[in-house]
Structure 1
């Protein structure tokens, strides 16, 4: 699940290139490691299910930073009209292979050129903003707000904390990347500043048996129907 911003400059910003390279390199190992992750995550499944009910059956949703498409496929099974977007073509190849009925596209969350203003009923960023520098988050959330219809809902998932976790040579591959941790109150404040209204904030404790070292947060916010 990957994404950062693309400022249409050439060469691409370093963090964008690093993120894409990291996930292109580890895609098959990553997909295999986390293939059945949602089946062992009851709280996450419950929040995703509640989110789907908020959006409504047939609602048009974009899963941004979709990675190998496991969350995209789950959302589709809940009756949503969902598509996926990711930086990594290697991740997208897996997503298309495992979810042949779902549309997946390559791109950045901060440049959703394929979506007109107010064209989506839902936006999901499920652990996909974690490589976006904190200074880019206001622009990221502004883009989410732009593409949502009034009354549309955003689901944001991330690890809780103050310091990034550095992953070096995962599965023996010669790549490294920082995974940012955020505070729920910090993210809620940024979402409110971007024009969202908070609906829920869910935090659960880390599960070391799953390799987690920090709590996990799931926020749901919506674009108000009136400005």
Structure 2
């Protein structure tokens, strides 16, 4: 992960948590998770932020653990959702998570914070964490021009979707579209892939 982005999220975790709470819920993403994720399957949210989606997953029959690279966000998530489980893990290696651990994997708007050359490796590692027949929901903010940092210092990398697909070579693709995220209002690329 881009270290400046991690530091930005950690230092301003309360501000980002409030921003995400104030956004409309991502009902479009939740509908896709209900359609494609295995009910009752063990689930991980990679890049869980302040825990909003981990809470939704647990409330809707997907027992979930949240992982994030930013210590400040993990502290915020633990404060906001004390009964849920949050752990530290960092893309692209995700060393803290054994391969074949989960039935469902959510990675919502995270990989665009990686340097472009790490995207393929990160996606391959996400897929390794799944069990056979497991499902990955992956999305990223689409950056139309060059990679850039926002006013907070977060990296938004520009990369072709082929970098993602290259990391998921043996996948069965169930969805591969660009859309406007109903929560953030930003253009995202959504990909749902099943491990064979």
Query: Smaller-chain TM-score range?
Result: 0.7 to 0.9
RMSD after superposition: 2.2
1:215 is aligned to 2:190: no
SS in 2 for 1:216: strand
CA distance in 2, matches of 1:204, 1:113: 31
The verdict on how the C-alpha distance between 1:133 and 1:88 changes in structure 2, with shifts beyond 3 A counting, is same
The question of whether the paired residues in 2 share the 8 Å contact of 1:192 and 1:198 is answered with: no
Match of 1:47 in 2: 32
Scaled by the length of structure 2, the TM-score of the pair is 0.87
Q: 1:109 aligns with which of 72, 87, 91?
A: 91
Instruction: Indicate how the Cα distance of structure 1 residues 83 and 206 shifts in structure 2: closer, same or farther if over 3 A, else same.
Output: closer
1:167 counterpart = 2:167: no
- Distance in structure 1 (CA, Å) of the matches to 2:29 and 2:50: 17
Residue equivalent to 2:155: 178
d(CA) in 1 for partners of 2:159 and 2:93? 22
- In the superposition, relative to structure 1, how do residues 139 and 46 fare at CA in structure 2: closer, same or farther (>3 Å)? same
Rg comparison, structure with higher value: 1
Question: For residue 172 of structure 2, what is the aligned residue in structure 1?
Answer: 197
Give every structure 1 segment of 4 or more consecutive aligned residues whose post-TM-superposition deviation is greater than 4 Å. none
Deviation at 1:211, TM superposition (A): 6.6
Structure 1, unaligned runs of 5 or more? 5-14, 171-175
Q: How far is 1:124 from its partner?
A: 1.1
Whether the 8 Å CA contact 2:109–2:139 is kept in 1: the answer is yes
**Alignment partners' CA distance in 2, 1:120 and 1:23:** 26
Match of 2:108 in 1: 126
